[in-house]
Structure formats: structure tokens, C-alpha cells
Structure 1
Amino acid sequence: MSDDPTPTPTPTPAQAQAQAQAQAQAQAQTQVTGAASGRIRILLADDHALVRRGVRLILDQEHDLEVVAEAGDGAEAIEMARTHDIDLAVLDIAMPRMTGLQATRELAALKPQLRILMLTMHDNEQYFFQALKAGASGYVLKSVADRDLVAACRAAMRDEPFLYPGAVTALIRNYLDRVRHGEETPDQVLTPREEEVLKLVAEGHSSKEIAEILFISVKTVQRHRANLLQKLGLRDRLELTRYAIRAGLVEP
């Protein structure tokens, strides 16, 4: 009697196709497990590891929330979104390489069903409206994240906008003041390119350096700077830098 093991039969094309379909279904089931169990899968992006750790503690202690990916800047957040199944992204505004606002625009285009929240230390009216225009569902201050962030996450998944309660009255009052005085309303915001130029100016780059970074001409950079000064009612580079810091585009 031979001790040779019985050879494994080669699957037929139909069997191979059935096996492939079964594997694909199993993988798809694994990917939707978080959503099916009712847990909101979250991507968290902030360039400070301690902030990410604290925010993660707030979110992970909730039965319906789970941080499944982290990123240290906007560009990394885009990569994490490509490789992870997520329902919600929580992004800081001021991050290196790519700001939270820039990442929001790209994420909204990459995953239209993704909900996005801005988490920032900057209480800035213009950037709240700009975040909404970019595709964010809400704007939460880090100083009250322990109170508001969980509610904001749940509101975003209900497709409801979220604004931290303390800012509502101030925003309405400011808006009405602008209307009464005939000033531009808050939805008059910077273009994505102007925002990039503003960030680079505030970081101390010369017009030539900005042109090289963005692959545009020096004249185009100068035109963007002139537009920024006119739109924002500012006079010089120093005021642009101060504005960028207040807006959360760069760190002080």
C-alpha cells in the first residue's frame, strides 16, 4: 500500500470562480462589520500626537464610536482614507504639508459619502464658513472637545451640521452687523490656491520660493498676494501672517 498522499484535485474554472466570489463576499462582510455593528469608524488627523491620544480616549469610550486610523497631517489623512474603511473624518485645521481645509476638499471629492468634522483651537468665523463650503459637517473647538465632540460626531452621521453652541449668537450678530453696514458676508472666502499662497507667505517663503513650491510663475504669486490683501482688507505681509495665525493656517 502506497504512503503517498492523495493529490489535491485541481478545481474546475467554475469552482475557482465560486471560491473567488466567496472570498470577495467574506472580505466585504469584514469591511462592513464596523458599520453593521453600529459603530462609527473614525479617521483622526492632528499633527500633535498628544492631542490625537486625548481625542481618541474621548471617542473610543463611546459604545458607538471607534477610531480606526490616525494621521499626522492632511496628506497622510488622504492616504489613510484610501486604505481604511471609515465613516467620519475628524481633522485639525493647522497641519503641515496639507491643511485640514485642503484635506477636506480632497476627501469630499474622494469619498462623497464621508462625513467630516473640523477640530480646531481657533474660533474663526470665516474659516467656519469655509470649512462648510469645503464639505465639512461641523466645526468643534478643542477647548470644549470633551463636551461637544461626541455630539458633533453623531450629528454628522445624521447628516446634520454642528456648530459649538457658544458661537451661534456671536455668528448671527456678526453676520447681521455685516449686512447692516453693507460689508461682504462670511461666504466671501478665499480660493484654495489663495489659501495655499497665504499659508506659504505666513511661513516666511519668498514669492520665488512659493512659485517653485506651487509650480506657478512669480507674477502669479504676486497676483494672488494682491488679491489676498484686497479681499481681507490688509496692507502688508505682516498683517497677512497675523491673519493666517488667527485663522489657524499656521502655528504661532
Structure 2
Amino acid sequence: MVIKILLADSHAVVRESFRSRLDDVPDMEVVGETEDGPSTVELVRKTKPDLVIVDIEMPNTKTIELIQQIKSESPDTNILILTNNLDSHSVCSVIKKGASGYLLKECDFAELIHAISLVCKDKIYVSPCLAGRVMKDCPYTYPPPDQSLLSYFNEQQIKIIKLSAEGKTEKEIGNILHLSIDTINSHRQHVYKEMNIHNIAELTRLAIRAGLIYP
């Protein structure tokens, strides 16, 4: 099924960049672009997109009201907020009102695609650097920790997951656990393979889901 996406951003160059890249992704289609709140609501009414990517800094737009209006016009439309705001309370507010994701503008394209895929499966996505604080400030955002995710790993591997998710370098992990960098990489690759993950961002999400890291 093709994911229909509406881009809501006040900067034409940003919309054009997103459109050019998203149009190259199989099963994703940009069905429209808007530059402010009222035109976004109008186009949602007409196109009923699966997802609206909303720039939280659009002028003359109150984000909370826009989210509510979008959900009123099209309850099945998911909303992904794009922002530079690192305030966890802002994340809580928009998710409580109906947004499904909160993504920093500095994210790479792979993370954007991952976030789109998740929110269009009715899941919540929050940028990893904010996820820990969000769990504390609005715990309803995430399901309870699932420690069964750790049943695949031994004690040393669990420690490596935790330390990696906390942002420790391989050298720092080695000093803490008295392991060589090769051993650390071997354990981490085992974790990646078992959980079908590919990078530190996904490893961080695993650690959060398992309850290994908190603010």
C-alpha cells in the first residue's frame, strides 16, 4: 500500500527537498504541499493523506490547534512533527493532542523513513536523543518496559547495549568492562543480528523499550 504524504512547511526549498527524496522511495507518495495551518487543514480535507509532516515553526500557526483540526478532518491521518525544539514537554503536548511522532530536523533521511514507517503502523516515534526524557515526562507515550527483549543476551552483552545507548564510545566501554574493542564490536554485531537492527539509534530504542536507560 502506498503511503500518501502531505508536507506542511513554510519553506518551499525544504518542501522541494523532501518531495524529491520521498518520491524516490517505493510505496511513498507526496500528494501535496502547504505553507501554513489553514491551507494544511484544507488540503487534508481534500486528500485524506496517511501522514502529514508538520513543521512546528510555521508562522501564524498554533501547532496544537493544527493537530486537533487535522485529526478532526481526517481521524486516520497520522501526524509527524518536524522541529528543532528539544523540550520534552513540547513532545508530550503534541503527542497527547494526537501527533504520532516528533523528529528533529537534523535527522538523516534514513531516520525520517523509519519514523514514517512506524507512525503509519499506528506506533509512536520520538527522536532517540529525546526519548529518555519523554518517558519520564509523559510515560503514556511508550508501553511499559519489555525486559523479555533482553532474554537473547548474556550479562556482558546487556551492559554493552546499555553503555552504547548512553552514548559511550567503544574505548570508554572497553575501559569500563575491561574488554577489547574487537570483543565489544563482536557482541554488538550479535545484538544487531538477533534484533534485526542496524545502527546506534535503533540500539538506543531497544534499550529504551527494554527499560535499560532512563533520564
TM-score, normalization by structure 1: 0.52
Unpaired runs of 5+ in structure 1? Answer: 1-37, 176-184, 188-252
Residue 76 of structure 1 corresponds to: 39
1: CA distance between counterparts of 2:88 and 2:17? Answer: 25
Cross-structure match for 1:166: 129
Question: CA-to-partner distance for each residue in 1:156-185, whole Å, 9 max, x for gaps?
Answer: 11101001122223444xx3xxxxxxxxx5
Larger Rg: 1
What's the Cα RMSD here? 1.7
The Cα offsets for residues 61-114 of structure 1, whole Å up to 9 and x where unpaired, read as: 210111111000111100111121311111011112323332111111221111
Which residue in the other structure is 1:88 paired with?
51
Q: Helix, strand or coil for the counterpart of 2:94? A: helix
Give the Cα–Cα distance (whole angstroms) in 2 for the partners of residues 60 and 129 of structure 1: 31
Match of 2:63 in 1: 100
**Equivalent-residue separation in structure 1 for 2:22 and 2:40 (angstroms):** 18
Match of 1:125 among 88, 93, 105: 88
Q: What letter matches 1:124 in structure 2?
A: D
CA contact (8 A) 1:43 1:86 kept: yes
1:156 corresponds to: 119
TM-score, with normalisation over the residues of structure 2?
0.60
Q: How far apart, CA to CA, are the structure 2 residues paired with 1:118 and 1:85?
A: 18
Residue type at the aligned position of 2:122: D
Q: Deviations over 1:4-35 (max 9, x none)?
A: xxxxxxxxxxxxxxxxxxxxxxxxxxxxxxxx
Q: Give per-residue Cα distances to partners, 1:176-209, cap 9 Å, x unaligned.
A: xxxxxxxxx559xxxxxxxxxxxxxxxxxxxxxx
**Cα 1:59/1:101, change in 2 over 3 Å:** farther
Q: How far is the alpha carbon of 1:145 from its aligned partner?
A: 4.4
Instruction: Say which is worse superposed, 89-98 or 161-170, in terms of deviation.
Output: 161-170
Of 16, 39, 45, the residue aligned with 1:53 is 16
Amino acid at match of 1:127: S
